[in-house]
Amino acid sequence: MQKLALEVFLSLRKFHILLVPIWVSRENEIISWADWGSRDFRSDDYSLDPVTMNSLSGKFGTFTVDCMANSANAICSKFFSRYSSPGTSGVNFFAQLLFQKDFHFCFPPVRKAVDALLHFEKFKVSGILVIPVWPRSQIFSWFFPDGVHASSWVLSLDLINPSFNSSQSVGCCFKGLQTFKTAVLEFNFQNNFVSFDPKIHPDFCLRKGCNECL
């Protein structure tokens, strides 16, 4: 931006153009629209690396909706964004209608994971939910009620160690070359519902087999 600003300044001097700055309120329609664009890159602007995504697509098939993305990292042509973003199908995932014909991919900010889960249940849809395995987090018991086994609504559990792609503005734990254990939870709420009953089975165990499920 500094380089562009300098070019503008030198061009104005070269052609003897007088530039008169005028203050415009941020409430102005054009300024508001431009401001939304600058917010598209935010503190939760991160995604899974391409190798991991190819692996997930190979197992689960084609995802038709990326629930929380932006124009830079969406994996589907249909995606919902937090703010207005080129090509978005809707702003604010939680304000959107969901359809059973779609297969949803959702890698939410950790603080929004439970809200996303309940939104999926409301519309009785299917897909996968990606969350980091953080036993000390407040949301963890919603997904692993006993701290070890996945909830009964989980159809399949995959434990992965992906790398995270993020924009330069990311200021959280996903910034840079980070990798840690992450859970991929498959769900289908068409004939299922959120509960706190654990599935005591090695396939749904964070330890891939413990004294309880062996």
pLDDT single digits (tens) 176-197:
555 679 999 999 999 999 999 9
Residue 212 inside a domain? The answer is: no
Q: What is the mean pLDDT of the chain?
A: 87
CA torsion, points 213, 154, 164, 78, in degrees to nearest 10?
Answer: 170
Do residues 27 and 123 share a domain?
A: no
Do residues 19 and 112 share a domain?
A: no
Farthest CA pair distance, the chain: 82
pLDDT of 47 reads 81
Do residues 76 and 152 share a domain?
A: yes
Name the pTM for this structure: 0.77
pLDDT in tens, 117-163: 999 999 999 999 999 999 988 899 999 999 999 999 999 999 999 88
The domain in which residue 168 lies consists of: 44-204
- Other Cβ atoms within 10 Å of 192 Cβ, number: 15
One-letter amino acid of 52: T
How many domains does one find in the chain?
Answer: 2
pLDDT of 175 > 60? The answer is no
- Other Cβ atoms within 10 Å of 66 Cβ, number: 23
Kindly report the CATH number assigned to the domain that includes residue 156. Answer: 3.40.50
Do residues 116 and 81 share a domain?
A: yes
Which residues on neighbouring strands pair with residue 185, listed in sequence order? 129, 157
Report the Cα 130 to chain-centroid distance in Å.
8
How far is Cα 20 from Cα 187, in angstroms, rounded to an integer?
58
Do residues 24 and 91 share a domain?
A: no
Do residues 113 and 184 share a domain?
A: yes
Do residues 29 and 126 share a domain?
A: no
What mean pLDDT is predicted for residues 201-212? Answer: 93
